[in-house]
Amino acid sequence: MNRTTPTESVVSAVVDAKDCTPMELPPLYEVVDPDALDSVVEAGLSVSFRYAGCEVHVEDGEAIATVPPTAEMVAPPQGQTH
């Protein structure tokens, strides 16, 4: 049985969120120690951090990555206010 590690789950989630390939991402180890990430998550803890412009949350071995909205995404069209 092939089991996905939390580290692999992070990379996969960020690839999906950014619509890119793993090779286009910076090395994960520049942000977090992959072995420590796997150990912490496998111990039942959750972890959140920023990686490659995404907000990443890892819990129960599964990662969710979201690209935070930019100012252009949330600003009302010119001439309109909230």
pLDDT grade, residue 64 (50/70/90)?
very high
Confidence of residue 3 (pLDDT cuts 50, 70, 90): confident
Q: What is d(CA 50, CA 18) in angstroms, rounded to the nearest whole number? A: 13
Rounded to 5°, angle at Cα 27 from 25 and 29? 145
**Of 3-12, 34-43, 70-79, minimum mean pLDDT range:** 70-79
**pTM for the whole structure:** 0.80
Q: Residue 12: which of 47, 42, 56 has the closest Cα?
A: 56
